[in-house]
Structure 1
Amino acid sequence: MNPIPYLPAGTVYGTLLNFRREHALWAPRMHEAPYKAPPQAPVLYIKTANTFTPSGHPITLPRGVAEVEVCASVGLVAGEGGAIVGAVLCNDVAIPHESYYRPPVKFRNVDGFFGVGDGVRPVGDLSSLASLVLELRVDGVMRQRTALADLVRDVATLWADVNAFQSMRPGDVLMVGTDCLDDGTRPRVKAGDSVEITATGFSPLVNHFVQETV
């Protein structure tokens, strides 16, 4: 009998502007209205339960959507007492959009738009994640390498800063963020493409993209 694939048992939070490249690209606009200053705390959004798709399962593009962004990340899994008990690979899928300050849920929370690795890697020493590099391939071709050494807030700092204003409950997942390409965009895929995200110590996260037909 095949094991039941892992899916988050709590709320999944994404983190924006937590990679140096994207933060630097947006820095000139951070003093514009309506905020008029850089964010002082982590900027979060939610991936709702309808978006969860296990590794190995297809992700469906809605009618009228020709391509989507795919974003490799690591999710920190909360345990008892607010501690990090593990990490999981994530593919944060979104319909391409310009705003990263208040991304509308209709772009990020489409059914199936969150690929989840098939297992949680135990994490005893948070510093071990600092050297982690994620590789994202589309149909076997390398499209992006993401180094957690490039985080604005490292894993421990991000976790502490988020817990300063909200409690992470057992089963909740906090993504450390997603990096952009040099031009500020994310890799894009269309129906028929297969995306694989890998990192040392993790099982590959693989999702195939199909087009809605009904």
Structure 2
Amino acid sequence: MSELKPIIMDGNVFGIALNYKCLYEKLQTSFNEKPYVNEPKKPVLFIKTPNTRNVSGQPVVKQKLAILQPGPSLGIVIGKSTTRVSKSEAAAHIAGYVVVNEWSLPEESYYRPAIKAKCQDGFCVVGTPVAADQVTDLNNLALRVFVNGELKQEGSTANWIRTPEQIIEEISEYMPLNEGDIILTGTPYGRVAVEADDEVRIEIDQLGSVTNTVQEEGN
């Protein structure tokens, strides 16, 4: 029997903002006011730069006076290069899925996610990938945030605006995706603030969990 091909996750990490109906609906009125005037028609992208990469068990540093918020997100792991891939063909380009804690400071603009809010050291905790064919009922998985063992936030991929296949189709219209890239499918409404010494665990059904302790800057 041939060995299974390992899932590579060493590429770029892109995030999709506003991909949960619960969050979008909370902000929908403001999108029709200045300075936006119109609601977004395409996925709103942001990037998690290489310095944000982190793993379960490692600390996440909170700057003094900063408001630090964990964010449960399901990551799509790209298995082969994509350019202008249709939704019907997109699944063949997915190697697997992974639980991610997409840490952030509070966002002032969802149209233009701030580098300062998204790209600080250790702000993207990536778990162990699970092969795509091992995940069932992808569009109905629960996401949970526990702080010191207490459930603080919960959501479901049933609340997605765009499925992974739709996301890949729309992004690959104008930008290639390569093997090893990860696309974060958004964070549901209800981010909570955490403090130094808090233990934060993110769980997603079938994908496992990641756990990190918040460490105050300078300690």
TM-score calculated relative to the size of structure 2: 0.86
Q: Which residue does 1:14 correspond to in 2?
A: 15
Matches within 5 A, 1:1-214: 8-65=9-66, 67-82=67-82, 83-117=93-127, 119-124=128-133, 128-181=137-190, 186-213=191-218
After superposition, what is the alpha-carbon deviation per residue over 1:77-126, rounded to whole angstroms, capped at 9, x for unaligned? 11114311111111111122332121220111111111111x11000388
* Two-structure CA RMSD over aligned residues (Å): 1.9
Unpaired runs of 5+ residues, structure 1, are 1-5
C-alpha displacement at 1:187, in angstroms?
1.2
Asked whether the equivalents of residues 130 and 155 of structure 1 are also in contact (C-alpha less than 8 Å), the reply is no
Equivalent residues, number: 203
Amino acid at match of 2:218: T
- Output the CA distance in 2 between the equivalents of 1:69 and 1:154: 24
CA distance in 2, matches of 1:37, 1:126: 36
Tell me the CA shift for residue 168 of structure 1: 1.0
After TM superposition, the score normalised by the length of structure 1 is: 0.88
Q: Segments of 4+ in structure 1 off by > 3 A? A: none
Q: Determine the C-alpha separation between the residues in 1 that align with 2:59 and 2:153.
A: 21
Give the gaps of 5 or more residues in structure 2: 1-6, 83-92
CA spacing shift, 1:49–1:13, aligned 2, 3 Å: same
Going from structure 1 to structure 2, the CA distance change for 1:192 and 1:58 (only over 3 Å counts) comes to: same
Name the structure 1 match of 2:88. Answer: none
Q: What amino acid does structure 2 have at the position aligned with 1:137?
A: F
Identity of aligned residues (%): 30
- Distance of 2:134 and 2:38 partners within structure 1: 34
AA paired with 2:162?
A: R
